[in-house]
């Protein structure tokens, strides 16, 4: 794809969002269960910010269940009006910028994956496959899919905080693919803080940092009569030699764990300061993580848990809560064993599973994994 053609389509996607935000009027998307959930609703965030402004806990009245950090960042924007515009217009403009940044990070991640895949093919003496690859950048394709996906556009202009959650997941994957432990740790901590489910992405992140973006399984080397430990990858994207291709390195993992601890302490400290005298960290965990796991709000959404728990007898509620929450966890290890040589694809699979099985899914969750699917455009094209 030509650079000029790519940027024209990317700018057009941003312009289309701005037109909908500035001149689309009230599209009533905030009330749609496909777009807004109790966890991502901007109206609920505005209510929580108002409670905090009158020196009450933002979690009073079971309205707000999001992060205190979002209250400080987006809360002031929800209370401003200008020229009769919708009160959330400023937040929507922020979400436009967030979507663009996420798309650029997806593009960079795609290019990193493509370079790693080409190096893997060359290491297996499959240079012909590299030369005959489709002349399509997976990163460009994925970023345009993310920008022009109707679900992404709807969540951007639909008064919900899903774009920010998606951005943190993308930052985490970009940092892990680039083997930047501080950036990957920041994205992981923030994504887990905003929504509990990205915690299962710890395995793909660890594999990305330990093995690299793309590592053919050992049996492939054996079939080619090669030794994985003797291959010298002269260019690993940082201008240094990468010997022992396929070997796991613990140093980036330990670096990542250290930064996860640092970022976690920093985030918890900020939350403690924000909630000072208007609640505390214990109430925050109960109203955020506890709310996610116990499925107390049975308002309709695109998932099935709300309907199931509206019908189930209270006597069996605790049992089925355990079953549904453990359902995701049971899939983590088998998929990691099978796809350990393709950690980025493993992250995509986890993201898709979460989008289908989480307690409060929305269109924003589908937008994320559909955008990540574009990272594997070359494989889907048969290259």
User: What pLDDT was estimated at residue 29?
Assistant: 80
Q: Which two tokens stand for residue 69?
A: 């950090």
User: What pLDDT was estimated at residue 126?
Assistant: 57
User: What pLDDT was estimated at residue 128?
Assistant: 56
User: What pLDDT was estimated at residue 84?
Assistant: 43
Task: Return contacts of 298-303, CB within 8 angstroms, 24+ apart.
Answer: 299/33, 299/38, 300/33, 301/33, 301/34, 301/37, 301/360, 301/361, 301/362, 302/33, 302/34, 302/361, 302/362, 302/363, 303/356, 303/357, 303/358, 303/359, 303/360, 303/361
Which residues make Cβ contacts (< 8 Å) with residue 271, sequence separation at least 6?
67, 68, 69, 281, 284
Q: How many CB atoms lie within 10 A of CB 279?
A: 22
Low-confidence ranges of the chain (pLDDT < 50): 82-85, 221-222, 227-244, 383
- Cross-strand bridge partners of residue 41: 160
User: What pLDDT was estimated at residue 124?
Assistant: 61
User: What pLDDT was estimated at residue 125?
Assistant: 61
Looking at every residue in the chain, the average pLDDT score rounds to 83
What residue ranges in the chain does DSSP mark as E strands?
232-233, 242-243
Whole-structure pTM value = 0.88
Question: From the CA atom positions of the chain, what is the Rg in Å?
Answer: 22
Q: How many CB atoms lie within 10 A of CB 10?
A: 19
User: What pLDDT was estimated at residue 254?
Assistant: 95
DSSP-derived letter for residue 233 is E
Angle at 107 between CA 101 and CA 110, to 5 degrees: 140
Percent of the chain at pLDDT exceeding 70 = 82
- Rounded Cα–Cα distance for residues 208 and 232 (Å): 19
User: What pLDDT was estimated at residue 22?
Assistant: 85
């Amino acid at each position: 794809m030509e650079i000029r053609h790519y940027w024209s389509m990317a700018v057009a996607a941003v312009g289309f969002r701005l037109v909908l935000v500035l001149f689309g009027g009230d599209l009533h998307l905030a009330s749609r269960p496909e777009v807004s959930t109790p966890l991502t609703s901007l109206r609920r965030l505005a209510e929580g910010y108002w409670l905090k402004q009158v020196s009450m806990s933002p979690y009073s009245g079971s309205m707000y269940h999001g992060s205190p950090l979002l209250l400080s960042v987006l809360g002031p924007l929800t209370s401003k009006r200008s020229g009769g515009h919708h009160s959330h217009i400023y937040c929507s403009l922020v979400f436009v910028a967030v979507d663009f940044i996420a798309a650029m990070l997806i593009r960079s991640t795609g290019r990193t994956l493509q370079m790693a895949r080409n190096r893997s093919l060359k290491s297996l003496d499959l240079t012909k496959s590299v030369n005959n690859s489709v002349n399509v950048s997976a990163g460009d394709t994925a970023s345009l899919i993310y920008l022009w996906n109707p679900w992404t556009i709807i969540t951007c202009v639909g008064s919900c905080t899903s774009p920010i959650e998606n951005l943190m997941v993308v930052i985490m994957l970009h940092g892990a693919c680039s083997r930047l432990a501080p950036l990957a740790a920041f994205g992981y901590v923030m994504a887990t803080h905003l929504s509990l489910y990205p915690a299962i992405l710890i395995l793909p992140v660890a594999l990305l940092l330990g093995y690299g973006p793309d590592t053919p399984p050992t049996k492939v080397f054996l079939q080619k009569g090669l030794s994985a430990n003797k291959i010298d990858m002269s260019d690993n994207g940082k201008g240094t030699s990468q010997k022992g291709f396929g070997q796991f390195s613990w140093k980036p993992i330990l670096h990542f764990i250290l930064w996860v601890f640092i970022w976690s302490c920093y985030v918890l400290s900020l939350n403690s300061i924000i909630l000072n005298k208007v609640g505390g960290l214990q109430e925050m965990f109960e109203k955020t993580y506890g709310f996610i796991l116990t499925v107390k709000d049975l308002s309709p959404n695109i998932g099935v848990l709300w309907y199931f728990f509206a019908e189930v007898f209270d006597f069996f509620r605790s049992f089925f809560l355990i079953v549904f929450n453990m359902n995701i966890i049971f899939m983590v290890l088998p998929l990691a064993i099978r796809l350990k040589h393709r950690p980025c694809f493993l992250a995509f699979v986890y993201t898709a599973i979460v989008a289908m099985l989480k307690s409060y899914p929305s269109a924003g969750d589908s937008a994320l994994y559909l955008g990540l699917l574009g990272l594997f455009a070359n494989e889907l094209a048969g290259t």
